[in-house]
Amino acid sequence: MKLLFAFVPFFLISGVLSAQNTTSIQKRCKALYEEALTLSQQGNSLKSSQLLHEILKLDSTFYMADFALADLSHEVGKAEEEIGYLQKGLKFAGDSYPAAFKFLADACYKKGEYVDALTRMAHYSNIKKSLNPAEKLLLESCTFSVDAIGHPVPFQPMDPGDSINTNAEEYWPSLNAEANELVFTRLETRDNMGQKISKPQEDFFRSRLFSIGWYKAVPLGFPVNTDENEGAQTLSVDGKWLIFTGCGRSDGVGGCDLYFSMDKDGQWTVPVNMGEPVNSGAWESQPALSADGESLYFVSSRIGGKGKMDIWRAEKIAISEDGIPQFGKVVNVSELNTAGNDLSPFLHADGKTLYFASDGRPGLGGTDLFLSRMENGKFEVPKNLGFPINTNLNEDGLVVEISGERAWFSSNRNPAQGKDIYYFNLSDSLRPKPVSYLKGEIVDAKTGKRLSSDVVLTNLTTNKQVRKISSVENKGSFLFCLPSGINYGLSISRKGYLFASENISLLEGFSKSNPKEMVIRLQPISEGSVTTLRNIFFETNSWQLKPESHSQLEEMAQFMKMNPGVIMEIVGHTDNVGTKEYNLELSEKRAAAVVQELLQRKIEPYRLKSRGAGNSSPVGDNNTEEGRRDNRRTDFVVKTVGSE
């Protein structure tokens, strides 16, 4: 785009010639200038440049030639030359051509010379008085950059090594919850002999972490990798789902679409176009799946946005019989978007902190990295991650491990190596809320065989479901990210089996280095089979049920309704604190209180029995608090399995 050249003839006639005597040299310069302009418009920049230099030999004060040469330098990306010509022209033009100050400010800003940029832009603002939105953004960016350089944030990028980075370009890192599997995009531009190839190839590669570093990355393989280009991907927290960008494909809805593949027993399935409404006739790319799998953020140029590229969100509405997620209505995340490009969203596992890149907000140049935190369903005003994380170049594609301590991104900050993947420790102010994870395996209690099951994670304080995985989504294993400060209830169920429940309380935090792992053993429904109700809670020394018990009671009632031939006994247990008589009475009343709740949920009275066992059947050590806590429990015992 021509910055100055297109306006020069009018200024030349009305300004230069009116301010100077019209000599034969001036007439010659004018003619050469108009010829140079015509040649430039025809695409002959070389000849145009030659004529402009000839003008300056005739008259070194003919500043419009300098401005035109600056324009030509800008076109070919020669920033140093552009700045030099603008500075020389302004020596003679002064304030008579204010736009030159703006263009010089822009050139200095893009080169990272922020103090000079701010000086020129502030002068331009004083002359013009009223700025348009783009000019206001440039002035704000110059001001921000000077301050950011003076107040750098802690930043020490580390190279994960040649197992991941090569002479090719590596970018778009994606991590699973355990941060021991990395999937990224590699752009191959040379063959094995180091020769340039005619068609550069983008493919996915995967590396796994072992005790002393990363294994050498290997291709993700067919059918995900093809002869076409694949890139800009997101990986689910368990590493089983991959959503990525594919362009120009025969099954495409638009120019670039989002595709889905899942890992089944170590083999990726044939990618499926995610279809409308996620994909449209526009350009969709750069997906980011939330840790709970319920929300999909992505970038699109579709109609209805605020700028060139906007961040959009869709919510999961179903899972197909073959395990493919279905997403519903797409909405614009308007509080994040600008009139520019808003790109590479990543929602951390805390469900509230989103990182993204933008060139539509005050920053250090190119696309900068920002974060925004969600409060009351809306994202707050984004915060620039600062210098030197951001530079005058493009920064994007940042992801953060669930611990919140370490971030990964790609950068070409080492030009000799091209674009590579780096990681660094985030400063405290840029970290999300701490998150751990729960990893589990579900097996038959008698055979040890893995069982596909329905798994539900509930916030026991609000009694709201946090996450549900249906049996078609798993083959006997699951992984959940768990923000701290919440008391969770876990429920696992499968037809023909007693449900199982676990309590995971993170009200007092957790050790990020020691996430919870468990094996859930489901009992087949048979006489005498038992499951412990780990999410039934009573007030201290009372049989009054706490509100946190609601989801467990609902689960029990649902089980009874789905198994109408089953008769159950509720058995209460206590620890050894207090007398034997007191504990027996307390356990009886607690068991009876559970039965009463089930009766209110329309379970037939003859199908429910209750009994108190006091402290007669401990499962833990009563000499420890943990053991006593395990002993204070309520069991759900199958007494009769009748015909339905």
Contacts of 57 (CB under 8 A, 6+ apart): none
Cβ count within 10 A of residue 642: 10
Cα–Cα distance measured from residue 98 to residue 86, given in angstroms and rounded to the nearest whole number: 11
Q: Could you report the per-residue pLDDT of 132-184, keeping only the tens digit for each?
A: 999 999 999 999 999 999 999 999 999 999 999 998 999 999 999 989 999 99
Domain count, the chain: 4
For residue 388, is the peptide bond before it cis, meaning its omega torsion is within 30 degrees of 0?
yes
Cα–Cα distance measured from residue 356 to residue 365, given in angstroms and rounded to the nearest whole number: 15
Contacts of 575 (CB under 8 A, 6+ apart): 583, 615, 618, 622, 627, 628, 629, 631, 632
For residue 278, what are the domain limits? 169-430
Whether 544 maps to a domain, the answer reads yes
Whether 157 maps to a domain, the answer reads no
Residues 519 and 548 occupy one common structural domain: no
Q: Could you report the per-residue pLDDT of 249-293, keeping only the tens digit for each?
A: 999 998 899 999 999 888 999 999 999 999 999 999 999 999 988
CATH of the domain at 239: 2.120.10.30
Cβ count within 10 A of residue 251: 11
Residue 552 in this model has a pLDDT that exceeds 80: yes
Q: How far apart are the first and last CA of the chain?
A: 77
Whether 264 maps to a domain, the answer reads yes
Residues 462 and 497 occupy one common structural domain: yes
Average pLDDT over residues 460-468: 87
CATH of the domain at 443: 2.60.40.1120
550-562 and 580-600 are packed helices; what angle lies between their axes, rounded to 10 degrees?
Answer: 60
Which pair of tokens denotes residue 553? 């009671």
Q: Could you report the per-residue pLDDT of 494-525, keeping only the tens digit for each?
A: 999 999 999 988 877 555 555 788 999 999 99
Residues 246 and 175 occupy one common structural domain: yes
CATH of the domain at 642: 3.30.1330.60
DSSP 8-class letter at 239: S
Residues 194 and 121 occupy one common structural domain: no
Whether 571 maps to a domain, the answer reads yes
Whether 156 maps to a domain, the answer reads no
Which burial class, exposed, middle or buried, applies to 71 when counting CB atoms under 10 A from its CB (0-12, 13-18, 19+)? Answer: buried
Residues 143 and 215 occupy one common structural domain: no
Residue 13 in this model has a pLDDT that exceeds 50: no
Look at the chain and count its residues: 644
Residues 305 and 194 occupy one common structural domain: yes
Residue 8 in this model has a pLDDT that exceeds 80: no
Residues 627 and 642 occupy one common structural domain: yes
The residue among 430, 464, 488 that closes a domain is 430
Residues 539 and 455 occupy one common structural domain: no
Residues 253 and 398 occupy one common structural domain: yes
Residues 397 and 447 occupy one common structural domain: no
DSSP 8-class letter at 15: I
Q: Could you report the per-residue pLDDT of 347-402, keeping only the tens digit for each?
A: 999 999 999 999 999 999 999 999 999 999 999 999 999 999 999 989 999 999 99
pLDDT over 70, % of the chain: 95
99-111 and 63-75 are packed helices; what angle lies between their axes, rounded to 10 degrees?
Answer: 40
Q: Give the containing element (helix H, strand E) for 242.
A: strand 241-247
Whether 164 maps to a domain, the answer reads no
Whether 158 maps to a domain, the answer reads no
Q: What is the pLDDT of residue 19?
A: 46
CB 520 within 8 A of CB 494: no
Cα–Cα distance measured from residue 590 to residue 583, given in angstroms and rounded to the nearest whole number: 10
CATH of the domain at 142: 1.25.40.10
Residues 84 and 226 occupy one common structural domain: no
Residues 421 and 440 occupy one common structural domain: no
Q: Could you report the per-residue pLDDT of 526-547, keeping only the tens digit for each?
A: 999 999 999 999 999 999 999 9
Cα–Cα distance measured from residue 567 to residue 576, given in angstroms and rounded to the nearest whole number: 29
The residue among 472, 489, 524 that closes a domain is 524
Whether 161 maps to a domain, the answer reads no
Residue 6 in this model has a pLDDT that exceeds 70: no
The residue among 489, 504, 524 that closes a domain is 524
Cβ count within 10 A of residue 528: 9
Long-range Cβ pairs for the range 304-307 (8 Å, 24+): 304/332, 305/332, 305/337, 306/332, 306/334, 306/337, 306/338, 306/339, 307/337, 307/338, 307/339, 307/340, 307/341, 307/342, 307/360
